[in-house]
Copies of this chain bind each other. A is one copy, B any other.
Amino acid sequence: MKEKFYTYIKSLQNKITDRIEEIDQLEKFKEDIWKRKEGGGGKTRILQNGKVFEKAGVNISAVNGKLPESIMNYLKVNESRFFACGLSVVIHPLNPMIPTCHANWRYFELYNEKSEIIDQWFGGGQDLTPYYLYEEDAVHFHKVCKNSCDKFGKNLYNDFKKKCDNYFWNSHRNEARGIGGIFFDYLRANSKKSIQDWHKFTVEVGNNFIESYFPIVEKRKNIPYNKKQKNWQEIRRGRYVEFNLIHDKGTMFGLKTNGRTESILMSLPPMVKWFYKYQIKPRSKEETLINVLKKPRKWIN
């Protein structure tokens, strides 16, 4: 299973970086291949200062070894050897009318002392963080996510949509990071689904990622914007940083397993502002966004 999934995410990494370069036209990805001292490594691809994309990171990694104690406590396990692989995508477009997009698909195995698998699961999801809300974009993104889910069970989308809203919650700001998407974790074999089923599901979700996001980029990339709107994007990106560094478990896992810091923190936006008590105008487009973030909405009936 681990080889199969790793082969898949390698090919998906290629498809996503190809698509980004095709849209950007100006800049290309730079690749870094790195090794982790304790076991495994990864392939980090970053594009910076593009025409459409201010910063985009599309990284795969496959790490293994002894599970650090902090993660053992977190997962509530005693077993100490693990394998984890995944593909992470974070895209920060230049134009504030295009949402930031994040996606991640991962597979995890835990072993006993005889190197037998004692636990295995899939996790992942994708979500959007707009700076200006285009409702049709949010609906499109959620529809593609729902279509992938519906092939595997009629409640999956609702479940995973809710998990996404719960997970990407900036509790110290009392608002969501963005307009959500789907989020799933610990997808283990159970009475209804085998681990093979969850593998197929994760692949289905991954395959539809390109269709969920890039049509939105194409649609919004030429909308004119002014300095004030760019400023708003940079201030909102501050909330993105706050989420990733204060609340995100993936970032914590990466930093605690001695992952490659530059690859983990590629998620941070290229240019960010913190302005004390930034005020928005009543009934402005900025307020429309905040209202949606304060109270996550149902995007599909």
Question: Which A positions have Cβ atoms within 8 angstroms of B?
Answer: 32, 46, 48, 55, 57, 172-173, 238, 241-242, 245-246, 255, 261-262, 265-266, 268-277
Contact = CB atoms under 8 A, between A and B. Distances in A.
Contacts of A241: 241, 245, 272
B172 A255 contact: yes
Q: Please give me the 5 A-B residue pairs with the lowest Cβ-Cβ distance, nearest first.
A: A245-B245, A268-B274, A46-B276, A172-B255, A272-B272
A187 B249 CA distance: 34
A77 B37 CA distance: 38
Given A55-B276, A245-B246, 9 more contacts: A46-B276, A48-B275, A55-B274, A172-B261, A173-B261, A241-B272, A242-B265, A272-B272, A272-B273
B272 A48 contact: no
A276 B269 CA distance: 10
A274 B261 CA distance: 12
A55 to B, nearest CB: 7
Contacts of A266: 276
Contacts of A48: 275-276
B276 A238 contact: no
A276 B271 CA distance: 12
A170 to B, nearest CB: 9
A172 B270 CA distance: 19
Contacts of A246: 245, 255
B272 A57 contact: no
A261 B269 CA distance: 21
Contacts of A242: 245, 265
Given A172-B255, A238-B268, A272-B272, A262 B277 contact: yes
Contacts of A271: 271-273
Nearest to A278: B262
Contacts of A270: 273-275
Nearest to A264: B172
Contacts of A273: 270-272
Q: Which of A238, A241, A269, A274 gathers most chain B CB within 10 Å?
A: A274
24 contacts: A32-B277, A46-B276, A46-B277, A48-B275, A48-B276, A55-B276, A172-B255, A238-B268, A241-B241, A241-B245, A241-B272, A242-B245, A242-B265, A245-B245, A246-B255, A262-B276, A262-B277, A266-B276, A268-B274, A269-B274, A270-B275, A271-B272, A272-B273, A272-B274
